[in-house]
Amino acid sequence: MRLSTKSRYGVRALFDIAYNSGNLPAQIQDISRRQEISPRYLEQIFQKLKRKGILKSKRGPQGGYYLAKRPEEITVRDIIQATEGDILLVECTAEKKKKKGECAFEGSCVTQTVWQEASARLQDYFSTITLKSLCDRGQEMGVKRERDHRFIYYI
């Protein structure tokens, strides 16, 4: 299995929002700059994440994107499933197969059980990693936080 840039960038972008913005809306230009991802591509990814209820947006000069749930409630599995669909190592293990009778060995394939188990373990692993745990890792690694300058006032 190879994750596409949609899921990889989706995880990075949501980490960025959780780490740098907290509860405040983050502007796509800032996320794009920090993560070196095209703003247009981020918009496409964010539309999928919004449809799945992971991300919300607010219009206007103080607007941007923000998490629809707390960081400890959003897992890497949620993000991957929102951007890619089911996490499967091979297509023949999907419960809803695209084409009926696609595999000539359906029901008698010994290796199919191996792929099913591996996919389940991978899903379980991704379910244990939350945006909060990624933020904790980022802090341990010394990743610099960039606070949104729109909300900093000096007197």
The pLDDT value given to residue 53: 97
Sign of CA dihedral 96, 101, 107, 110: negative
pTM summary value: 0.85
DSSP 90-114: SGGG-SS-SSTT--TTTTT-HHHHH
| Residues 65-109: tens digit of each pLDDT | 999 999 999 999 999 999 998 888 887 777 765 555 567 777 778
What is the domain class of 5-86+130-144 according to CATH? mainly alpha
43-82 burial, b at 16+ Cβ within 10 Å, e below that, comes to: eebbebbeeeebbebeeeeeebbbbeeebeebbbbbbbbb
